[in-house]
Amino acid sequence: MRLGGPARYVIEIEKPDDIPKAYNFAHKNNLPVFILGYGANTIGHDEGFEGVIIINRMCGIELLSEGVAALEGDPKMFCEAKILGREKSRQDPLHIKIMGGEYWDNVVAFACERGLTGIEALSKIPGLAGAAPVQNIGAYGQEIADTLVEIEVYDTATNTFKTLQKSDLHFSYRKSLLNTTEKGRYFVISITLALKKGQMPRPFYNSIERYIAENNCTDFTPQGIREIVSKIRADKLPDPLTTPSAGSFFKNIYLNDEEARLAEQKGYPVYRGHDGNKINSGWLIEQAGFKGALLHGIRVNDKAALVLINESAKSYQDLASARSEIVNKVYDKFGYRLEQEPEEITT
């Protein structure tokens, strides 16, 4: 969002041995720690961060099912996903290990190029692989919990390296152990996914089905779905590299079956998927009259009202004021309380 002040210290992690050193430095100097990924889903405060920000720069992809290691990645924000050897040709799941500093969309491209399904709908989500399980990233009917097997972490409570299984992470919508009960405890070194040859089952998410119908698409391979999702996102969502935005600013509204029934009786569009019943918060914001509006320097995207863009805001308070106006009006009109998705950097 291009808001917030400076951090006192920033430490970049290029190998696992760097992790305890970084935490020891913070501990000796009595400083708080914030783990930052790509930063696209993070908002800073005006006073900055009087502590240590740790960034994961460990990159690489490995096909565990074949025992083939990726070439070492360049320890920078964008890392090339390269691989040696042959792919697995059977229908069994392929277990893929990804270092936490790998750029997430490289991972999706890597999988789709090999005809592997499971994460193709997560194309073009800005961020690093290590952040994917933290908030259980999801889009267009898929989420990381669907394919995640385990993660390697550094446990700051015991100062040890360990492996956490999927069942340990208590996944739910945009939540996991990592951003709730044990927030800040674990530094994610790598994640392991189980993907398969094949295609996403139909029906697809509404936005994908609509695009298919409007454009007469016939390619539903992982690569085909990736291209469709990429085009949908490019049309609706600004690139955070060029436009100050945190992507989807509010979480969607999840409803139980009775709440969904009542919402449908009122004419609200309820999406019923394998992950539950939900109303798109962007629809609520649009119906509340905010689509395209400029509030305190924050523009509500005219193509996807769920997205807020920093057009001329100068402070965190500008964003907070815009957020409050949107949240309060949606609540007054519909009775649903919007919840912010991006995390905030606070001491």
Rounded mean pLDDT for each run of 10 residues along the chain, 347 residues in total:
95 97 98 93 94 97 62 39 42 90 97 96 96 95 96 98 98 94 97 96 92 96 98 89 91 94 95 84 97 97 94 97 98 97 90
* CATH number reported for the structural domain that contains residue 323 in this entry: 3.90.78.10
The domain containing residue 27 runs over which residues?
7-56
Residue 65 pLDDT: 66
If asked whether residues 279 and 261 sit together in one domain, one would say yes
Number of neighbouring beta carbons within 10 Å of residue 79: 25
57 is catalytic: no
Identified catalytic residue from 57, 174, 226, 323: 174
**Nearest-angstrom CA–CA distance, 198 and 174:** 26
pTM for the complete prediction?
A: 0.84
**Nearest-angstrom CA–CA distance, 175 and 249:** 15
Answer with the one of 32, 56, 80 that is the final residue of a domain. Answer: 56
Identified catalytic residue from 87, 227, 341, 344: 341
If asked whether residues 32 and 125 sit together in one domain, one would say no
341 is catalytic: yes
| Sequence-ordered list of residues with C-beta below 8 angstroms from that of 283, at least 6 positions apart, any chain | 268, 269, 305
Residue 84 pLDDT: 38
Answer with the one of 197, 226, 255 that is the final residue of a domain. Answer: 197
Is 214 contained in some domain?
Answer: no
Residue 276 pLDDT: 83
If asked whether residues 84 and 182 sit together in one domain, one would say yes
Is 236 contained in some domain?
Answer: no
Look at the chain and report how many structural domains it folds into.
3
Is 178 contained in some domain?
Answer: yes
248 is catalytic: yes
Residue 82 pLDDT: 41
Identified catalytic residue from 176, 207, 245, 248: 248
If asked whether residues 131 and 50 sit together in one domain, one would say no
Is 249 contained in some domain?
Answer: yes
Write the CA distances from 194 to 65, 117, 197, integer angstroms: 10, 9, 11
Is 115 contained in some domain?
Answer: yes
If asked whether residues 70 and 112 sit together in one domain, one would say yes
If asked whether residues 107 and 37 sit together in one domain, one would say no
